[in-house]
A and B are shown apart, each in its own frame.
Chain A
Amino acid sequence: MTTEVGAETEVKKDAEQAGAGQAKDKPDEASRTTEDEKSRKASSEEPLDSSSVPVPTSPSSQKKAKDLSESKGISRFLPPWLKKQKSYTLAEPKEEAKKKTVREDQVIEAGDCQLPEEAPQPERSLKGAATEKEHSAKAEEKEEKRSVSSAETQPAKEDGKEIEVEKVAEEKEEKQVEKEEKQVEKEKRETKEVQTGEIKAESIPQKSPKKIKTVQCKVMLLDGTEYSCDLEKRAKGQVLFEKVCEHLNLLEKDYFGLVFYESSDQKNWLDPSKEIKRQIRSLPWLFTFNVKFYPPDPSQLTEDITRYFLCLQLRQDIASGRLPCSFVTHALLGSYTVQAELGDYDPEEHRSDYISEFQFAPNQTQEMEEKVVELHKTHRGLSPAQADSQFLENAKRLSMYGVDLHHAKDSEGVDIMLGVCANGLLIYKDRLRINRFAWPKILKISYKRSNFYIKVRPAELEQFESTIGFKLPNHRAAKRLWKVCVEHHTFFRLLSPEQPPKAKFLTLGSKFRYSGRTQAQTRQASNLIDRPAPHFERTSSKRVSRSLDGAPIGISDQSLLRDFPTARGGPAGDKVLDIEGAGQAKLKEGSREENGSPVKTPQLELIQDGKKLHSLKVDGENIYVRHSNLMLEDLDKTQDDLLKHQASISELKRNFMESTPEPRPSAWEKRRIPPAALQAPARHGSRAEGPCAGGSDADKSSHETLDIVEEKKQAEVGREEGVVIDETNKGKMQVATDAGETCKVELLSKKDSSSLPSDSSSSSSSESEDEEVGEYQPHHRAIEEVIREEQEEEEDANRKKEHQEKIKQPVEAPTEGSKLNVPVEHAAQVAAEALAQENAVTVATEEKKVSEEVKQDVGEEKEEEQLRLNGDVSHVDIDVAPQIICCSEPPVVKTEMVTISDASQRTEISTKEVPIVQTETKTITYESPQFDGSTGGNAGVLLSAQTITSESISTTTTTHITKMVKGGVSETRIEKRIVITGDADIDHDEALAQAIKEAKEQHPDMSVTRVVVHKETELAEEDEE
C-alpha cells in the first residue's frame, strides 16, 4: 500500500478527512499505516524467508506470536476482535506482499503510474458530477478510487475506457457509500483502533514464524530429479512453490503447481495460500511438481524453459496413458522427444536400440520404436527448443490435452468421466464425449457432500436454468472437482491486466495468486520477462519414462533421475513487451492497495482484510457473474475476440485471479460503501430492519450528520462450521439486501432515528433475515472461506473488486454497485478517517456479504438484493444471477438449497470456498459499517461495560455489553460470543441460527451489526484441498 501514488493520495485523503472532522483519527491512522506497511513489507518477505520477517509492530507482536502458535485452535477462545485480527492477519501478509510489489512497481514505473492516474481523472470528474451529496470526503474517496481505478484501468486503458467510465459511475456510488461508512467508521474508530492493534500483533506473528520448526520436504520434479529443502512447519504452499520455481529457474510458473497424493490416485493441488501442514496433515512432506493449467497454445509461452517443463509433463502424461494418443502420434511425439534430447540422428552413435531407452507410450512396441527412428531421421537440424515446440504443437491438438478427468456417476448411476479443461466441462462415457458445457453456459458450480452440481444456462428456447448433478466417489472428490473447475474457469476465462512477474510474485505470495492468476495475467507477466534465455539441462526422458512405468504418475520418476544434460543456451530473446502496461497495472494495484493501507495502519489492515474479504467475496461473485456474461459473449466470439474483450476487463480479472472468484461481492461492496459514508459523521442509526433501511436509503449524508448510537450484538459462533452472526439476522438481512447501504442500516438499528436512506435502497434485507438464518450456515461457510481467502489477499480482494468492477463494466456495468463498493472500500481505507471505521466498514461489508450469502441461501432475498443493487445498475442483477458460481463447502447443506432456490431466478451466489482457499480455521466477520462506529465510537465516551458468560451443552455464550455516548447519542453495544462445539453430529448451522435467533429475541430493539464466524474444522476434509 505504500506506493508513491498511494502515499500522495493518502495524504490528501487524510487532509480531507481531517477537514471532515476526523482529524483525531488521522494521527493514529498514520502511525498505524506505517506500522501496517512495515508489517506488510515483512509479510511480503515472509513467503521467501519466514524467519527473516521483521516484526514491525510492538504490543501486538506478543499476541500475534501467541496467535501464531495457537492460531486457529485458540481462535475460538479469543475475543471476537482477536478472531478478526487473526483473519486479518492472514490477509495481511498477502496484502503486504501486494503492497510491496506495488511499491516497487510504482517506484520503477512512477511515470506510468501517473499516466494511469490521469486516465482515471475523467472518471473522477464524472463521478463528482454524479455524486452531488458527496463532499470532501467523497472527493477523497474519489481520489482513492481514482488511484485504484487508475491502477485497474491502466492496463486495459485502450480497451477499457468505456469500462472505466462505468466504473467511475460505480465508484461514485461507492464513494458515497464510503463516505457514509467513513463517518460511521469515525465514530467507531475507537473500537477499531483497539482491534487494529490486536490485529497487527496477530499479523506479525504469522509473518515471522520464529518459533516454528523446520521440516524437510521433497519435491519430485518433472525431469525425475528430486528437490529437497527445509521449510518452516507453518510455511504456506507458496513458499515451497516459489522455492521450487527458483530452483528450476522458472518464471512462467502460473501454469504449474505442486501436488500431493493422498493415495496413488488422489491427487491434490497444494494451495499456495494455505499452510502446507494443514493441507497435507499427516501425509509425508512429499510433493510433485506438475503442470496445473495446460496452455492451449504453448507457442505463446515466452521461455523455452517453460515449454521444456511442459514437454516433460506431457511425456509423463503420454507414457502413463493419461493422455491417449494414436500409434502414429506416439511415434511422432516420440521422435521429437528423441530429437530434443539426442539431437540429430547419427547412424554411428544411434544404434538400433538407442531408442528403446525411451518410453513413448504405455505399450511401446518394436514397431513403434522403428517408426520413431524413422521419423527421428527426418528431424535433422531441429534444435532441442524447436523439437520441443514441434512436440507441443502436435500434443496440444490431442483431444485430451489439458483435460483433467474425474470419475463420477450421472444421475442414473452410470459411470462417466468429468473432464475439466480450459473451455469448460466435458462429460465422457467410455471415451465418448456425451456432453459438453462450455464455461459460458455454466452459471454456477457447486458441490454438496459427494455431489457436484452445475447450473446451466437455459437453452435457446428454454426459460429455466437447469441444474445437473453428478455423484462423485466421495466428498473430497467433489470438492476437488469443484476446485479444479473454479480454478480452470478463473485461469482461462478471466483476463487480467498485464502485470510484471515480479509484481505477481511479490503481490501474490499466496496460492490465490497462483491459482488466482489468469492465463491472461500470466501472459502479460511473461511479456515482461527480461532475461537472457536461461540455460538449462535437458534430462533424458528415458529415466522419467522408466520411472513412470508402473509408478504413480509424478512420483515415480524420482528414483530414475539422471541429469542428462544437454546444455542449451537457448537464445531466448529478451522480451520486454508491455512492460509499461504491466507496470501500470501493478502500479494501479499498488495504488489501490496503498489507498487502503495508508489510511490507517491497523485499521487499514483490518479494513483491507475485511475489504478484501468483502471484495474478494464480492469480486468472486461478480467475477463469476461477469464471467458468465463474458462467457456468453465469448461463445459467439473467437478466442481472440474474447481475449480482446477480456483485455479490457483484464484489470478486473486480475483482481479476480488473485482474489479468487467469489460471488456477489459487488453488491456487498456497494452496500459497504454507503454505510461507511453514512457512518462517517457519526454513526447513523440505520436500523437493521431491512425494509426500513430501504426507506432510509435516503441519504448517506443525512446519516453522516446524525450521530447514532449503535448497538451491536456479535454472536460469534465457534463451530467447525461455525458462523458467527452479529446480533440478529436482521442486520445481515439488511446488509444483504442493501449491500453497501444496508450495512449502515444495520448499524443504525441502534438508537438513531437517522434512517439510512441509501442503505435501505434494497429494503428486502429485513425480510430475508429469517431465511438467512436458516440458510446461513452454508453461506457462512462459503463466506468464511471466501473471507479467509480475502483476508489473505487483501490486495487480491481489492484487485478482485477492481476486476469485478471491470468485469461489470464490460458486462454492461451490471455490477456497478460492486464497483462502487470497491472504490468505497478503498476510499475508506485511504480516507483513514477512522481505522476503526474502516474496519467496521469492512466488517460491515462482510456482514453484508454474509447476509447476501444468507439471502442467497434464501435465494430470493439475495437475489432481491442483487436485483436491487442491479436496479441501480440494472445490468448487474441480470448478469450476476446467471453467472454466479456457487461453491458450497461440503458441510453446507444450504448450498443445494441455494441451487434450488435458483427458481427465484436471481443468482444465488453461494460462495463457498474460493477454489484455493480451504483452511481449517475459518474466521468470517460480517459487520455492518455502523458497528465499527459503535465499537470505535471515535468521540464516544464509555459509560459502562460488563461481561456475562453463560454455557449450555454445546454452546458457550459470552456477552459483552458496552455503553457509550457519542455525539449526544448513547450507544449500547452488545457483543455476544457463542462457541458451538461438537462433532459432525451437531448441526452447527442450526445451533448458530438458534443462537442468533435468541440474541434477536433478547434484544429486539437492537440490530445486528456484525457477525464473526470463526470456524475450526478438522483438517481432514477441508485441508485435503
Chain B
Amino acid sequence: MAGLGGGPAAFGRCTHAVVRALPESLCRQALRSAPGPDVDFARAEREHQLYVGVLKSKLGLQVLELPADESLPDCVFVEDAAVVCEETALLTRPGAPSRRKEVEAMKKVLESLNLNIVEMVDENATLDGGDVLFTGREFFVGLSKRTNQRGAEILADTFKDYAVSTVPVHDSLHLKSFCSMAGPNLIAIGSSEAAQKALKTMQQMSDHRYDKLTVPDDAAANCIYLNVPSKGHVLLHRAPEEYPESAKVFEKLKDHMLIPIANTELEKVDGALTCCSVLINKSSEL
C-alpha cells in the first residue's frame, strides 16, 4: 500500500512473474497475423527457457510457471489474459475466441497471489493485455482487432485511479506490438508511421510528458523494463542478432542494465517479449 502506484519511483517494481510453457500445438495452430516460416519448437522452447531464466535467476523474481495446454496453442502469451496493476488484476476477455479459456488458469494463479480479481464478464467486451500500456501514471488501451471500446471501459472501471485513454491501432496486432515502457516516463516506440502516429495520440491524450526512445524496428520497441532493487534499471530487449540497429539504440541507455533476449521463434506467431509474462508487484505485507 505504497499509495497510488507508488509514484514514478516505484514504476517497474516487480516481485512475481507469471509465465506459461509452450504447447506443441503452437507451431501449427497458433494464431498468426500473416503466414510465414514455421516455428522451430525446440528453439522456441530454448528461447523461452532463457527468458524465464532471466526473470527467475538473474532478476530474482518469483516466477509462477503454468503448464502448457495443448488445446490452447497461444497460451504461452499470458500477457493477454490479465492486466495486473498494483493489487488489482483484471482478467480479460481475449479478442480471439480460441484464447478465452487461457484466462482460467490465469485466474487461479492470480487468486493464489491474493490479488483483487476483476473478471470481464461482459460478452460484448474484448480486451487483450497486449493492447494495454501502463506507464506508471495512466493507461493507454489500443483499440485493435482484439480489443474494443467496451473492454477498455471495463479496464477503466477496474483501475479507477488512473486515466485510461484509447489509442486506435490499425496495422498491428496489439498496441504493444510497436511500443512499451523502457523506463519510468520513457516510452520505447517503433519508427513505423503507425507507431509514430500512435505515439502522437498518446502524447496528446496525456497530461504528462513522456520521454521517447525511438528504435528503427517496431518489434524491437517491445521490451521489458524492470526496477530491481539490487540492480536498478533493468531492460530486457531484443537481441542484436535480431535487430542490430535497434539494439544500438538500447545500448545508449547508460543507466540501464541491458539484457538482450532472442525471440525469433515466437515472433513468427506475433509474440513479443512482453507477451510471455505477467509481472506483478506484490507487497509483502498485503
Q: A393-B3, A638-B209 are in contact. Are A436 and B204 (CB under 8 A)?
A: yes
11 sampled A-B residue pairs with Cβ under 8 A: A327-B88, A328-B1, A328-B87, A329-B4, A378-B1, A398-B160, A431-B153, A432-B152, A432-B156, A433-B163, A433-B166
Residue of A nearest to B166 (CB): A432
Q: Digit string of B191-235 for contact with A (CB within 8 Å is 1, else 0)?
A: 000000000000011110100000000000000000000000000
Q: Digit string of A633-648 for contact with B (CB within 8 Å is 1, else 0)?
A: 0000010000000000
- A328 vs B86: C-alpha distance in the bound complex, in angstroms? 9
- A332 vs B1: C-alpha distance in the bound complex, in angstroms? 7
Q: Which residues of B contact A398 (CB under 8 A)?
A: 4, 160-161
Q: Which of B88, B164, B165, B206 is close to A328, meaning CB atoms less than 8 Å apart?
A: B88
Question: How near does chain A come to B39, taking the closest CB pair, in angstroms?
Answer: 36
Q: A327-B88, A328-B88 are in contact. Are A431 and B156 (CB under 8 A)?
A: yes
- A431 vs B205: C-alpha distance in the bound complex, in angstroms? 14
- A394 vs B164: C-alpha distance in the bound complex, in angstroms? 18
A394 and B4 contacting across the interface, CB-CB below 8 Å? yes
Q: Which residues of A contact B158 (CB under 8 A)?
A: 326
B204 and A432 contacting across the interface, CB-CB below 8 Å? no
Flag whether A435 is at the interface (Cβ < 8 A).
Answer: yes
- A934 vs B161: C-alpha distance in the bound complex, in angstroms? 65
- A421 vs B149: C-alpha distance in the bound complex, in angstroms? 24
Give the number of chain A interface residues (Cβ < 8 Å): 27
Interface of A is mostly: mixed
Q: Which residues of B contact A433 (CB under 8 A)?
A: 163-166, 205
Q: A431-B156, A433-B166, A436-B204 are in contact. Are A399 and B138 (CB under 8 A)?
A: yes
Q: Digit string of A51-84 for contact with B (CB within 8 Å is 1, else 0)?
A: 0000000000000000000000000000000000
Q: A326-B88, A328-B1 are in contact. Are A432 and B205 (CB under 8 A)?
A: no
Residue of B nearest to A423 (CB): B207
Q: A328-B87, A436-B204 are in contact. Are A399 and B3 (CB under 8 A)?
A: no
Residue of A nearest to B140 (CB): A433
- A434 vs B149: C-alpha distance in the bound complex, in angstroms? 10
Q: Which residues of A contact B7 (CB under 8 A)?
A: 397
Question: How near does chain B come to A370, taking the closest CB pair, in angstroms?
Answer: 12
Q: Which residues of A contact B4 (CB under 8 A)?
A: 329, 332, 394, 397-398
A324 and B165 contacting across the interface, CB-CB below 8 Å? no
Among A326, A375, A394, A431, max chain B CB count under 10 A is at: A326
Q: Which of B3, B161, B164 is close to A431, meaning CB atoms less than 8 Å apart?
A: B164
Question: How near does chain A come to B205, taking the closest CB pair, in angstroms?
Answer: 5
Flag whether B116 is at the interface (Cβ < 8 A).
Answer: yes
Flag whether B5 is at the interface (Cβ < 8 A).
Answer: yes
B166 and A434 contacting across the interface, CB-CB below 8 Å? yes
Q: Which of A378-413 contact B (CB under 8 A)?
A: 378, 390, 393-394, 397-399
Q: Digit string of B81-92 for contact with A (CB within 8 Å is 1, else 0)?
A: 000001110000
- A438 vs B208: C-alpha distance in the bound complex, in angstroms? 11
Question: How near does chain A come to B101, taking the closest CB pair, in angstroms?
Answer: 27
Flag whether B255 is at the interface (Cβ < 8 A).
Answer: no
Q: Which residues of B contact A435 (CB under 8 A)?
A: 204-205
Q: Which of A423-473 contact B (CB under 8 A)?
A: 423, 430-436, 438
Q: Which residues of A contact B205 (CB under 8 A)?
A: 433, 435-436
Q: Which of B109-151 contact A (CB under 8 A)?
A: 116, 138, 141, 149
Q: Which of B1-39 contact A (CB under 8 A)?
A: 1, 3-5, 7
Q: A394-B3, A394-B4, A435-B205 are in contact. Are A326 and B153 (CB under 8 A)?
A: no
- A398 vs B207: C-alpha distance in the bound complex, in angstroms? 12
Q: Which residues of A contact B162 (CB under 8 A)?
A: 399
Residue of A nearest to B286 (CB): A374
Question: How near does chain B come to A584, taking the closest CB pair, in angstroms?
Answer: 33
- A327 vs B159: C-alpha distance in the bound complex, in angstroms? 9
Question: How near does chain B come to A640, taking the closest CB pair, in angstroms?
Answer: 12
Flag whether A1011 is at the interface (Cβ < 8 A).
Answer: no
Q: Which residues of B contact A324 (CB under 8 A)?
A: 160-161
- A499 vs B166: C-alpha distance in the bound complex, in angstroms? 42
B161 and A329 contacting across the interface, CB-CB below 8 Å? yes
Question: How near does chain A come to B246, taking the closest CB pair, in angstroms?
Answer: 25
Q: A399-B162, A432-B165, A434-B165 are in contact. Are A327 and B3 (CB under 8 A)?
A: no
Question: How near does chain B come to A368, taking the closest CB pair, in angstroms?
Answer: 11
Question: How near does chain B come to A760, taking the closest CB pair, in angstroms?
Answer: 44
Among B1, B158, B162, B164, max chain A CB count under 10 A is at: B1
Flag whether A325 is at the interface (Cβ < 8 A).
Answer: yes
- A332 vs B149: C-alpha distance in the bound complex, in angstroms? 30
Q: Which residues of A contact B241 (CB under 8 A)?
A: none
Q: Which residues of B contact A397 (CB under 8 A)?
A: 3-5, 7, 161
Question: How near does chain B come to A786, taking the closest CB pair, in angstroms?
Answer: 31
Q: Which residues of A contact B204 (CB under 8 A)?
A: 435-436
Flag whether B157 is at the interface (Cβ < 8 A).
Answer: yes
- A436 vs B205: C-alpha distance in the bound complex, in angstroms? 5
- A438 vs B205: C-alpha distance in the bound complex, in angstroms? 9
- A433 vs B163: C-alpha distance in the bound complex, in angstroms? 7
- A434 vs B156: C-alpha distance in the bound complex, in angstroms? 12
Q: Which of B1, B5, B163, B207 is close to A375, meaning CB atoms less than 8 Å apart?
A: B1
Q: Which residues of A contact B156 (CB under 8 A)?
A: 430-432
Residue of A nearest to B158 (CB): A326
Question: Lowest 7 A-B CB distances belong to which pairs?
Answer: A399-B163, A324-B160, A433-B165, A431-B156, A397-B4, A394-B3, A326-B161
- A378 vs B209: C-alpha distance in the bound complex, in angstroms? 34
- A393 vs B7: C-alpha distance in the bound complex, in angstroms? 10
Question: How near does chain B come to A596, taking the closest CB pair, in angstroms?
Answer: 40
Question: How near does chain A come to B111, taking the closest CB pair, in angstroms?
Answer: 15
Q: A327-B116, A432-B149, A432-B156 are in contact. Are A332 and B3 (CB under 8 A)?
A: yes
Residue of B nearest to A323 (CB): B160
Question: How near does chain B come to A821, taking the closest CB pair, in angstroms?
Answer: 36
A432 and B153 contacting across the interface, CB-CB below 8 Å? yes
- A397 vs B159: C-alpha distance in the bound complex, in angstroms? 13
Q: Digit string of A152-175 for contact with B (CB within 8 Å is 1, else 0)?
A: 000000000000000000000000
Question: How near does chain B come to A407, taking the closest CB pair, in angstroms?
Answer: 17
- A434 vs B201: C-alpha distance in the bound complex, in angstroms? 10
Q: Digit string of A615-642 for contact with B (CB within 8 Å is 1, else 0)?
A: 0000000000000000000000010000
A432 and B1 contacting across the interface, CB-CB below 8 Å? no
Q: Which residues of A contact B149 (CB under 8 A)?
A: 430, 432
Q: Which of A360-382 contact B (CB under 8 A)?
A: 375, 378
A326 and B164 contacting across the interface, CB-CB below 8 Å? no
- A375 vs B87: C-alpha distance in the bound complex, in angstroms? 14
Question: How near does chain A come to B8, taking the closest CB pair, in angstroms?
Answer: 10
- A332 vs B87: C-alpha distance in the bound complex, in angstroms? 12
Residue of B nearest to A422 (CB): B207
- A435 vs B165: C-alpha distance in the bound complex, in angstroms? 8
- Given A399-B162, A434-B165, 16 new contacts (CB under 8 A): A324-B160, A326-B88, A327-B88, A327-B116, A329-B160, A375-B1, A394-B4, A397-B5, A398-B4, A399-B163, A423-B207, A430-B153, A431-B156, A432-B141, A432-B166, A436-B204
Q: Which residues of B contact A326 (CB under 8 A)?
A: 86, 88, 158-161
- A432 vs B1: C-alpha distance in the bound complex, in angstroms? 26
B161 and A399 contacting across the interface, CB-CB below 8 Å? yes
Among A328, A329, A432, max chain B CB count under 10 A is at: A432
Q: Which residues of B contact A438 (CB under 8 A)?
A: 207
Q: Which of A324-365 contact B (CB under 8 A)?
A: 324-329, 331-332
Q: Which residues of A contact B153 (CB under 8 A)?
A: 430-432
- A618 vs B182: C-alpha distance in the bound complex, in angstroms? 47
Question: How near does chain A come to B80, taking the closest CB pair, in angstroms?
Answer: 20
Q: Which residues of B contact A421 (CB under 8 A)?
A: 207
Q: Which residues of A contact B159 (CB under 8 A)?
A: 326
Q: Which residues of B contact A328 (CB under 8 A)?
A: 1, 86-88, 116
Residue of A nearest to B162 (CB): A399
Q: Which residues of A contact B161 (CB under 8 A)?
A: 324-326, 329, 397-399
Q: Which of B153-192 contact A (CB under 8 A)?
A: 153, 156-166
- A435 vs B206: C-alpha distance in the bound complex, in angstroms? 9
- A394 vs B160: C-alpha distance in the bound complex, in angstroms? 13
